[in-house]
Amino acid sequence: MVQKGLAEETPVHVVAGEGYGPTVMVVGGMHGDEPAGYNSAARIARWNIKSGRLMVIPEACKPAVRKGNRLSDRSGDGNLQDLNREFPAGKTPWSPLARGIWNVVADKDIDFLLDLHSSSGLYKWGNGGGVGQGIFATNAGEADQVRRRLQSYLNDGFIDNDTYKFTGATAGEDGSKRMLKHKVGADLNTPAILFETYRGLSDERQETLTTSAVYNVCRRKGMFDK
Of 184-223, which residues contact Zn ion (CB under 5 A)?
A: none
Q: How far are the Cα atoms of 117, 197, 223 from residue 155, in angstroms, in the given order?
A: 18, 12, 23
**Cβ–Cβ under 8 Å, residues 17 and 219:** no
Q: Report how far residue 30's alpha carbon sits from residue 32's, in angstroms, rounded to the nearest whole number.
A: 6
Of 43-82, which residues contact Zn ion (CB under 5 A)?
A: none
Q: Fill in the DSSP letter of residue 117.
A: E
Q: How far are the Cα atoms of 9, 70, 158 from residue 200, in angstroms, in the given order?
A: 30, 17, 16
Pairing state between β 112-119 and 134-137:
unpaired
- Shortest distance in whole angstroms from residue 195 CB to Zn ion: 10
- Shortest distance in whole angstroms from residue 84 CB to Zn ion: 6
User: Given the rule CB under 5 A, which of 1-9, 23-31, 107-115, 161-169 is the region that contacts Zn ion?
Assistant: 23-31
Residue showing the smallest CB distance to Zn ion in the complex: 117
- Shortest distance in whole angstroms from residue 111 CB to Zn ion: 23
- Shortest distance in whole angstroms from residue 31 CB to Zn ion: 4
Which is closer to Zn ion, CB of 94 or CB of 224? Answer: 94
Q: Does 181 bind Zn ion (CB under 5 A)?
A: no
**Which positions touch Zn ion (CB under 5 A)?**
31, 34, 117
